[in-house]
Amino acid sequence: MWPKKRPVDLATRWAQQEPFQGHGGGGSRLQWVEERIRFDKMEIGNWRQLLKKTKQNKNPSVNKGRQKHGEDTFNRAKLLNVGFLEALKEDATYDCFIFSDVDLVPMDDRNLYRCGDQPRHFAIAMDKFGFRLPYAGYFGGVSGLSKAQFLRINGFPNEYWGWGGEDDDIFNRISLTGMKISRPDIRIGRYRMIKHDRDKHNEPNPQRFTKIQNTKLTMKRDGIGSVRYQVLEVSRQPLFTNITVDIGRPPSWPPRG
């Protein structure tokens, strides 16, 4: 993020938000934590090297929103809202927010992590999609919004529990507020995904398609202005700040017909 007085395209300071789920279920908690820390350090180290090569911000703020461990369902978009709010508590002058999945690594150092006049979608060509944009409205993986753009769409939805749907809802919010998506050249916006097992309690949300169709009706009441959470622990590491939060539980899903 960068100070408000400077033009957006000359940004020098920003904060990156990365959501992930705490340990839930069987297995060794210590082993899981050690594996996650190695995974995080590898991913963060990769993009910090990229920033150094491209002379981008040398000291960006990295907040990793971690949902509390247990049996709760994952909620990516709500964790990103939490990261936005917690970053501003750290420094109210932040004005560019990069939202990134922890398992994606940029492959081209020309893919500059900056905000512009329109919301930016960086990860447009992932290896898991054959280095192609899967569909025109895709806004997943890694994206960037200025503070003003984020507030204009009322942040991200809080009601997408489980896997899928929140990225399309965010795309709808951007379109409904009259903004357009900015993207790099497909040869530049390439990412590789670090292979890993899917986290438990991140099953597909059976309500996601209905919710996506109703973004226009829900975006004013569901977003950054309505997010509720409790910070349980803040751990400041050399490369990032890990914030463990309780974001509640989803409502009961009706059985599928």
Q: Which residues are catalytic?
A: 101, 103, 163, 166-167, 193, 196, 198
Q: Do 179 and 144 contact (CB within 8 A), yes or no?
A: no
H-helix segments, 63-122 = 76-90
Distance of CA 153 to the CA centre of its chain: 15
β-bridge partners, 245: 67, 231
Task: Give backbone dihedrals phi and psi of 132, rounded to 5 degrees, phi first.
Answer: -135, 155
- Distance (Å, whole) CA 100 – CA 233: 21
- 220: burial class by Cβ within 10 Å (0-12, 13-18, 19+)? exposed
